[in-house]
Amino acid sequence: MKATVRGFQSKKDGVGAVFEDVYLVEGKRTPFGKLSGALSTVSPTDLGILASRAALKAAGVDGGEVDQTIVANIGQASADTFFLPRHLGLYAGAPQASPALLVQRICGSGIEVVAQAAEQIALGKAQVVLGCGTEAMSRFPLASFGMRNGFALGKPDFVDLLWEALDDTAAVPMGATADNLAREYKLSRDEVDRFAERSQARCFAAQEAGYFAGEVCTVDKSGILEAPGLKPRKYRLKGGEPLSADEHPRRTTLDKLAALPFVFSKDGPTTAGSASGIVDGACAVVIASGDYVRAHGLKPLGKVRGVTSVGVEPSLMGIGPAPAIRALLPQLGLTLGNIDVFEINEAFGAQCLAVAKALELNQDKLNPHGGAIAIGHPLAASGTRLALTCLRGLKQRKGQLGVVSACIGGGQGIAMVLEAV
């Protein structure tokens, strides 16, 4: 069997592709560091290199086998991020002749990385693709877009790009879309807080069971990243200690969550406790053709079966996963009942609950190891993390099919079906 792709398009249901014989071999991610935490001194390029080297090692694939490098990064958080995909590929060991590409679909970018990799393989443009999402949100800059042309006396014009990333200037702030969905789907403050508490509890249960040890690589307190013919890159963690576990999860109670003030509207229900964590981190995956997997005796985590992306009303952007999932499953001859695990990005508790309600999901199958409320949402890295977590979760639960999905700022949704092997 050869890797193939079939595209589909509908003005009502969005666009997508169905794949045959394309595999997600393995992946690794850095721990996700809290805002201004241990990873806040590390550039997104270096975070991506560290995750990519670990992913290739875990996959049993030499960097020299990489035909293309595809990277997602949203916030340009260091001076050299113009070169980020190329530098990441080269320092991860990809051949000099192997090209690199940056993709951007905001919160869906990590899923888009896997989709783009699968397309390149199915089109015969690669046998092995290194995919990575990387984000250093603590380093998002203060920017002055007009400073080069001068400013009026006493009126310098600066914006905080971390704060601006939370606002859709054509519609409403991201958190307000979650509050809008809470009203539309009649979600109470208590329901949303309970969902947030469950995300944290499931995450801690997974940590204590050692679940994340299989997907997280330790980041040493400092290091020098070298590649033949290139200048060495140096990094050092804040605090001077190695980081081996996510920093953002926090033990909480319903009483503590209920005491938090609303953030985006006077009636809520979104609070800091029911929103995704602002974190730093990277997650890399190795995607390969079936021919390559079989020829090299690899043991992949699973197959990439299909992907869909859709547009939705910007003021209700958080509902995006629902129509994306609905559009994709029939293309594969599947129904919601065929899916064993749903990994849906928890941009906000109300948003994820609205999607679950719209699809009438069994919440035992939804984010069984916690989600972004606990783990954090490093914008470009979340999608690759969801794919990795989903396939590992399927193996743990002896399931076959999983869905990964995310809402996307500006009013989009993306969904992907993965199959454990």
Which residues are marked as active site?
107, 407
Distance CA 13, CA 107 (A): 20
CB count within 10 Å of CB 210 equals 8
Distance CA 110, CA 9 (A): 21
Question: What distance lies between CA 395 and its chain's CA centroid?
Answer: 20
Q: Which of 344, 301, 342, 246 is nearest to 23 (CA)?
A: 301
Q: Which residue has the tokens 């952007």?
A: 317
DSSP string, 47-70: HHHHHHHHHHHHHT--GGG-SEEE
User: What is residue 188's DSSP assignment?
Assistant: -
Quick one: CA torsion of 384, 390, 392, 397, rounded to 10 degrees?
Answer: 180
Distance CA 355, CA 387 (A): 18
CA-based radius of gyration for the chain? 20
The identity of residue 132, as a single letter, is: C
CB 44, CB 81: distance < 8 Å: yes
DSSP string, 252-321: --HHHHHTSPBSSSTT---BGGGB---EEEEEEEEEEEHHHHHHTT---SEEEEEEEEEE--GGGGGGTH
CB 140, CB 152: distance < 8 Å: no
3 state SS of 157: coil
Write out the H or E segment, with its range, that includes residue 45. Answer: helix 44-59
